[in-house]
Amino acid sequence: MKKIITVVGARPQFVKAATLSREFQKVGVEERIIHTGQHFDANMSDVFFTEMDIPKPAYQLDINGLTHGAMTGRMLEGIEEILLKEKPDGLMVYGDTNSTLAGALAASKLHIPVIHVEAGLRSFNMAMPEEINRILTDRISNYLFCPTDTAVKNLHAEGYASMPIRIIKNGDVMQDAALYYAAKASQVSDVLTKHQLSSFVLATIHRQENTDNPDYLRSIISGLNSIHAITPVVVPIHPRTRGILAKMDITPKFNMIDPVGYFDMIMLLQNCDIVITDSGGVQKEAFFFGKHCITLREQTEWVELVENGFNTLVGSDSQQLLTAFDFLSSKASDFSIDLYGNGKAAESAAKMIAEF
């Protein structure tokens, strides 16, 4: 039986891991999960394992609240120690966080095959820590599972086709999760009644490029405040963002609620009018549930959403945000187009990994 070590640490990775963990059990792959602790708030971490029936992590590193270098370094040290003990057949990482890069580095230095799920994504903005993480992770991985044709093209453009690396387009495992858990969400979530929500805009803000720039953050909050005067805006607020708003003495007029679990987030996505976000994962989730999205960034890895008119990039400009909101509020789109596979991405990946 193959043994795979999976490294997770942030919300999107918990969602993705749920899909593969379920499929690993079907194909007889033994999985041991390392939780780095990058998201340490219980509502942003523990609740996902409980709600989504993800196997409890075999290891908890509890590394958070540090600089990028310190966090990545300590994760690398902790993961390496576990790998020396476990001696797995491979290590799997997701996405583009510090946890992703640390896991890939630890395994590659020990000559343990690295499997990168959600490979090949590029924003072409090297100022983003996530861009650095995803490029480096791709380069030291052995198996690159790509969610889209664009991701495959990015890798080919960078010369990966001539490297001893397997490039596989298998679809997006986040769509698997959205389809699988949507029905359960309506049964277990009370987020709509709890916060008395009917017609509303859902927004999330957490990227450092926005939260750590006072001008950007004030402009975004100003735009959200203006939209809130038209349609209620609901923001599940990241603890770090809440702290920065208080420190900068910025007063949001919209509704800030505590971080929510995955099922609550599904219900918010299914029932909102429009999504406003700087998250990569939420851009796709908006599409999965048939909602237009306004992205608070200058670039996106999910270019197909922009090209097909489902997503609009506005950066941190409050006026562009208002213009996009006004336009998308009355726009009709066909969300039935297949951009991310047929919901079988995790099944396909698990079968391949079992045969590697």
Looking at the annotation, which residues are catalytic?
206
Structure tokens at 40: 């340490």
Is the Cβ–Cβ distance between 225 and 254 less than 8 Å? Answer: yes
Structure tokens at 264: 């609550």
Count of Cβ atoms closer than 10 Å to residue 331 Cβ: 13
Count of Cβ atoms closer than 10 Å to residue 29 Cβ: 22
> Helix 262-271 and helix 173-188: axis angle, to 10°?
90
Three-state secondary structure string covering 65-92: CCCHHHHHHHHHHHHHHHHHHHCCCEEE
Q: How far apart are the first and last CA of the chain?
A: 12
Task: Give the number of C-alpha atoms closer than 13 A to the C-alpha of residue 355, restricted to the C-beta side.
Answer: 6
The backbone torsions φ and ψ at residue 190, rounded to the nearest 5 degrees and listed phi first, read -120, 20
